[in-house]
Amino acid sequence: MAFSLHGVHVPHRKNTANSSAVYVDPPKTVTIPMSMHIGAPAKPCVKVGDLVKVGTLIAQAGGTVSVPMHASVSGKVVKIADYLTSAGSTVPAIVIESDGEMIPDESLTPPVVDSKDSLIEAIKNAGVVGLGGAGFPTHVKLNVDPARIEQLVINCAECEPYVTSDTYTMLTRTEDMKTAIEAFKTYMGIKHIVIGIESNKKAAIKSMMQLMKDTCQGCKVDVKVLPAKYPQGGEKVLIYHTTGKVVPTGKLPIDVGCVVLNCTTLAAIGSYLATGMPLVKKCVTVDGGAVKNPQNVIVPVGMSMADVFEACGGLTCEPSKVIYGGPMMGVTVPDTSAPIMKNTNAILALTAKETKLPATTPCIRCGSCTNTCPFGLAPAEIAKAYDRKDAVKLEELSLNTCMECGCCSFVCPANRPLVQTNKLAKAFLREQKAKEGNK
């Protein structure tokens, strides 16, 4: 796998970078799906009619790779019903009617942490998942032999257009991050912390440099200011650009001695360690041409997109596309009743003008897709192999290395749907493997 400094210069559109995040009024209801993470869905432990407060446990982790869920508003459980996620699976969701008071659960206290195991347990109990987008349970990622961790890499890249919620974290939540870093140093023996941040975030760079100064005792710290080039925040890309290490295909960051945590994930851990309040609210960037007042807002997990847009002055026109996350790797939602998830860092309501693409034309074999792919993949060849349903060739072309960043589609002069084809090809390969496994 050939790593490169390629990637693309996407228009930043960080319209909300300088707006401080505002708390919105609690919505009438929140809908909390039991799966907002990679892994087994959580199992509800409340019933309809139960009264809950902010932070009350409402669902237990559904297995080793899973996290618990907590009430994000105070009020009453009014429904537990199936919910169709944007990934197409059906999971139970707990609907809570808010009493409008946002009363915290008084039984919550900071966890007792005195060892690596109790730290990992605390992170699990906090319900923390990767908040940079992936939603992988953080306690699972961290539950490794600490001797294997050479670097803790903090992902502050925030390379997607529009999204600025991590910038809010970097500017205002350094105390929470400091609490988490001190715990990692004490109980996991972290000796080297590397921060990867794009050069276009001047104030955030200053803030993170100060944080590193404050936490450097007994620990090597590096703040790596990186070119503002998408997809700088991709886990493997960031590891390469901050440490020089290459994570081989099929391997994990820990296999090269790295653990990567997004800065907002780190802050969520620190907040729980300091207060005992689990992950129940999110700072979300609300933007796109159809939003009346684009801004960063702090909302309870489970608030509907429609309510969040309303809190931002509403929509000025029927959006052509509504997405969770940024425009490069975000997921389109069918309607705005979809709730804010734990790992939602932005919601965008884009106009027809913003989403209009020129017609697709035949490939002109210019090579731009390969030249911009951070892994040096050959998307045009992958597309041909997928057309032929050639599973062997798709494996040879390292299809599964593709992180679905969309750089290839972005640069293609023929507007070929390359990343979309890669997603279909990956699903095809999974099907083939399942068939082989059943033989």
**Contact positions vs ligand SF4 (CB under 6 A):** 363-369, 373-375, 377, 379-380, 402-408, 412-414, 416, 418-419, 422
Neighbours of 301 (CB within 10 A): 27
What strands lie across the sheet with 69-70, from one edge to the other? 43-44, 57-60, 69-70
Closer residue to ligand SF4, CB minimum distance, 16 or 421: 421
Minimum separation from the CB atom of position 363 to ligand SF4 (A): 3
Minimum distance from residue 439 beta carbon to ligand SF4 (Å):
30
* Residue closer to ligand SF4, measured from CB, 321 or 384: 384
> Would the CA dihedral through 427, 430, 434, 439 be positive or negative?
positive
* Shortest distance, position 423 Cβ to ligand SF4, whole Å: 9
Nearer to ligand SF4, 222 or 404 (CB): 404
Tell the smallest beta-carbon distance from residue 192 to ligand SF4 (Å): 28
Phi, psi (degrees; rounded to nearest 5) at 196: -110, 120
Q: Which is nearer to ligand SF4, 211 or 329 (CB)?
A: 329
Rank residues 274 and 363 by Cβ distance to ligand SF4 and give the closer one: 363
CB 224 within 8 A of CB 238: no
d(CA 408, CA 393): 19
Smallest separation, CB 409 to ligand SF4 (Å)? 7
**Is the alpha carbon torsion for 363, 368, 372, 378 positive or negative?**
positive
Q: Please say whether the beta carbons of 277 and 318 come within 8 A.
A: no
Distance of closest approach, residue 180 Cβ to ligand SF4, in angstroms: 30
- Token code pair at residue 154: 């903090």
Nearer to ligand SF4 (CB atom), residue 64 or residue 371: 371
Q: Name residues whose C-beta falls within 8 Å of residue 117's C-beta, 6 or more positions apart in sequence.
A: none
Helix then strand then coil, in percent of the chain rounded to 5, is 30, 20, 45
Note the Cα 180 to chain centre separation in Å.
Answer: 18
Alpha-carbon torsion angle 2, 263, 138, 336, nearest 10: -100
Residue 193 vs 405, nearer CB to ligand SF4? 405
Nearer to ligand SF4, 262 or 368 (CB): 368
Sort 430 into a burial class: Cβ within 10 Å, 0-12 / 13-18 / 19+. Answer: exposed
Residue 240: what residue type?
A: Y
